[in-house]
Chains A and B, each alone.
Chain A
Amino acid sequence: DVVMTQSPLSLPVILGQPASISCRSSQSLVYSDGNTYLNWFHQRPGQSPRRLIYRLSNRDSGVPDRFSGSGSGTDFTLKISRVEAEDVGVYYCMQGTHWPLTFGGGTKVEIK
């Protein structure tokens, strides 16, 4: 199985400042069609997860442009250009290239 490793586990952030979350996979996530099936999700306390980014760097509808996804192969990053209060919660990466699908362990973002 592909192991997804996120860091840090916890990320205290200052409002208005940038933030960055890392996700590493144990195998390349480049599929035979050339796409990289790496998604990012955000889960606020008491809510269901919401997808932010799909296929490495594509923002879902309604996702603010302060969120961006990047990376290649086995090394990926979610960046928030300027953190807002509503961005608190847990962020997960997920790979959809290989069966079984696997998630990272999560990064908890809280306001410092």
Chain B
Amino acid sequence: EVQLLESGGGLVQPGGSLRLSCAASGFLFSFYAMTWVRQTPGKGLEWVSSIGGSGDSGDRTFYADSVKGRFTISRDNSKNTLYLQMNSLRAEDTAVYYCAKGRGGDHWGQGTLVTVSS
């Protein structure tokens, strides 16, 4: 059974940093691309970033313009874990952050809430 478990969310001041983690199990993690998607409370879904897997564009990374230069996606295949390093956080980054398997999101985690506020 595919499982994705995000962690690392919390309250951070504007300009601060957080690192989100997504622990994956139940599939060959290294093979698949992985994706971060966020959802502002009560609003829709916004793609944030994706990273390739050995079966799809290697370790190429892709970012939404809204986070480019501030967020970094990475993966540790030995730990079956996906990361999102978020720097220079802004109030508009406040959202629930989901990790999803593949570029197409065939499985999603439960999400972790990031609140950027002073």
Contact = CB atoms under 8 A, between A and B. Distances in A.
B31 interface: no
Interface string B41-63: 00011110010000000000011
Contacts, number: 53
B110 interface: yes
Interface in A61-84: none
B91 to A, nearest CB: 21
A14 interface: no
A89 interface: no
B108 A50 contact: yes
Interface of A: 37, 39, 41, 48-51, 54-55, 60, 92, 94, 96, 99-106
Q: Is chain A's interface secondary structure helix, strand, loop, or mixed overall?
A: loop
A101 B64 CA distance: 8
A101 B103 contact: yes
Interface residues of B, number: 21
Contacts of A50: 108
B108 A48 contact: yes
Contacts of A100: 47, 62-65
A54 B37 CA distance: 17
Given A99-B62, A100-B62, A100-B64, A51 B47 contact: no
18 contacts: A39-B105, A48-B98, A48-B109, A49-B98, A49-B105, A51-B106, A92-B44, A94-B47, A94-B104, A96-B103, A99-B62, A100-B65, A101-B35, A101-B103, A102-B47, A104-B44, A106-B44, A106-B45
